[in-house]
A and B are shown apart, each in its own frame.
Chain A
Amino acid sequence: MDYFVNVTLTGLTQGMIYSAFALALVLIWRSTRIVNFAQGSMAAATTFIALALIQAGQSYWVALVVALASGFVLGAIVERVIIRPVEGGPELNAVIVTLGLFVAIQAGIAIVFGSSFQSFPTPFGVRGFEVGGTTIPLTPTSLYVIGSVLLVMALLVALFRFTRIGLAMRASAFSQEVARLLGVKVGGMLTLGWGLAAVVGSLSGLLIAGGTFVWPAYMDALIVFGFVAAIIGGLDSPVGAIVGGLILGLALSYVSGYAPRGSALVNISALVILIVVLLVRPGGLFSSTTARRA
Chain B
Amino acid sequence: MSDLHSPASTGTAGKATDEAPVLATAGADAPSAPAETRRSFLPQSTLLRHLLVLAASAVLAVALLELSSPYQNSQLATLTYYAIAAGGLTVLTGMNGQISLGHGALMAAGAYTTALFLDAEEPLPLPLILVVAVVVATAIGALVGVAAARLHGPYLAGATLALAVGLPGLAIYFHDIFGGEQGLRVRAPRAPEAFGSFIEAVSGNSASNTKWLAYVGTICLLITYFFLANLVRSRIGRTWRAVRDQEVAAELAGINLGAWRVLAFVVSAAAAGLAGGVLAIVVRLAAPSGFTLVLSLALLTAIVIGGLGSLLGALLGSALLVFLPPFVTDLGGDLGLDQTEAAQLAPFVYGVVLIVAMIFAPAGFVGTIRLRWMTAKAKRASARAAGANGG
Question: Which chain A residues have a beta carbon within 8 Å of chain B's beta carbons?
Answer: 29, 33, 35, 37, 82, 85-86, 88-93, 95-97, 99-108, 110-111, 114-115, 174-175, 220-221, 223-224, 227-228, 230-231, 235, 261, 264-272, 274-275, 278-279, 282-283, 291-294
Is there a chain A Cβ closer than 8 Å to B216's Cβ?
A: no
Distance (Å) between the CB of A72 and the closest chain B CB? Answer: 21
Give 6 CB contacts A-B under 8 Å.
Answer: A92-B99, A95-B153, A224-B162, A231-B155, A261-B173, A265-B173
Question: CB < 8 Å: which of A91, A102, A105, A275 contacts B147?
Answer: A275
A101 engages B355 (CB within 8 Å) = yes
- State the Cβ distance, B246 to closest chain A Cβ, in Å: 9
| Structural contact, A107 and B162, CB atoms closer than 8 A | no
A35 contacts B157, C-beta separation under 8 Å: yes
A265→B152 CA distance, assembly (Å): 27
- Interface membership of B191, Cβ < 8 A: no
B159 contacts the other chain (CB 8 A) = yes
Q: In the complex the two chains form, what is the Cα distance from A67 to B173 in whole Å?
A: 37
A-B contacts at CB below 8 angstroms, number: 182
Q: Give the contact stretch, choosing among B62-70, B266-274, B337-345, B365-373.
A: B337-345
Task: Using A86-B358, A279-B147, A293-B8 as known contacts, say yes or no to A95 and B157 having CB atoms under 8 A apart.
Answer: yes
Contact status A93-B159, CB under 8 Å = no
* Interface flags, B347-358, vs A, CB<8A=1, else 0: 110111111001
Whether B4 contacts A227 by the Cβ 8 Å rule is no
B359 at the interface (CB under 8 A from A): yes
Q: Which residue of A lies closest to B360 (CB)?
A: A85
| Minimal beta-carbon separation of B127 from chain A (angstroms) | 31
Task: Name the segment of B17-25, B29-37, B48-56, B116-124 touching the other chain.
Answer: B17-25
- Given A85-B359, A96-B354, decide whether A270 and B5 contact each other with a Cβ distance below 8 A: no
What is the CA–CA distance of A35 and B5 in the complex, to the nearest angstrom? 13
Residues in B whose Cβ lies below 8 Å from that of A235: 154-155
Residue B109 at the chain A interface, CB threshold 8 Å: no
B297 at the interface (CB under 8 A from A): yes
For residue B105, give the distance in angstroms from its CB to the closest CB of chain A. 10
* Cβ contact within 8 Å between A111 and B341: yes
**B interface SS class:** helix
9 new A-B contacts, CB < 8 A, other than A92-B97, A174-B1, are: A35-B154, A90-B23, A96-B358, A97-B354, A111-B348, A267-B165, A278-B150, A294-B247, A294-B248
Taking CB atoms, residues of chain A closer than 8 Å to B2 are 291-292
Bound Cα distance A261, B159 (Å): 24
Given A96-B354, A107-B344, answer yes or no on A264-B151 (Cβ-Cβ < 8 Å). no
A175 CA / B3 CA spacing, docked (Å): 11
Residues of A within 8 Å of B184, CB to CB, are none
Instruction: Find chain A residues with CB under 8 A from B308 CB.
Output: 92
B245-302 contacts to A, CB under 8 A, are 247-248, 293-294, 297, 300-301
B189 interfacial by beta-carbon distance below 8 Å: no
The answer to whether B24 and A103 touch across the interface, beta carbons within 8 angstroms, is no
- Cβ–Cβ contact B344 & A103, under 8 A: no
Residues of chain A lying within 8 A (CB to CB) of residue B196: none
Complex CA distance for A221 and B169, rounded to whole angstroms: 12
Task: Enumerate chain B residues within 8 angstroms of A292, measured Cβ to Cβ.
Answer: 2-3
Instruction: Judge if B197 is at the interface, Cβ distance under 8 Å.
Output: no
Contact residues in B for A101 (Cβ distance below 8 Å): 351, 355
**A-side contacts of B163, CB under 8 Å:** 271
Verify A271–B166 contact, CB threshold 8 A. yes
Please name all residues of chain B whose beta carbon is closer than 8 Å to the beta carbon of A35 when the two chains form the complex: 153-154, 157-158
B22's closest neighbor in chain A, by CB?
Answer: A89
B165 touches A224 (CB 8 A): yes
Residues of B within 8 A of A29 (CB): 154
Chain A, Cβ-Cβ closest to B308: A92
Pair A108/B348 contact, Cβ less than 8 Å: yes
Which residues on the B side are within 8 Å of A282 (C-beta)?
150-151, 155
On whether the beta carbons of A274 and B344 are closer than 8 Å, the reply is: no
Find the A residue at minimum CB distance from B101.
Answer: A99
Contact among A95, A107, A115, A293 with B348 in the assembled complex (CB-CB below 8 Å):
A107
Residues from chain A with a CB closer than 8 A to the CB of B165 are 220-221, 224, 267, 270-271
Shortest CB-to-CB span from B124 to chain A, Å, is 29
A102 contact set on B, CB distance < 8 A: 297, 351
B289 to chain A, nearest CB (A): 12
Q: Is the CB of B355 within 8 A of A278?
A: no
Residues of B within 8 A of A110 (CB): 340-341, 344
The reply to whether A293 and B6 contact each other, CB–CB distance below 8 Å, is yes
Report the nearest B residue to A221, measured CB to CB.
B165
A274 to B147, CA, bound (A): 10
Inside 8 A of B25's CB, which chain A residues have their CB?
90, 92
- Evaluate whether A267 and B166 lie within 8 angstroms (CB atoms) in the complex, with A97-B358, A107-B344 already known: yes
Among candidates A91, A104, A274, residue contacting B152 with C-beta atoms closer than 8 Å: A91
Let me know if B162 and A271 touch, CB within 8 A: yes
- CB proximity of A267 to chain B, nearest CB, Å: 4
- A270–B351 Cα distance when bound, in Å, is 27
Q: Could you say which of A93, A103, A267, A269 contacts B351, with CB atoms under 8 Å apart? A: A103
Contact B173 A104 (CB under 8 A): no
Closest to B249 in A: A294
Residues in A whose Cβ lies below 8 Å from that of B101:
99
Contact A220 B293 (CB under 8 A): yes
Cβ contact within 8 Å between B154 and A95: yes
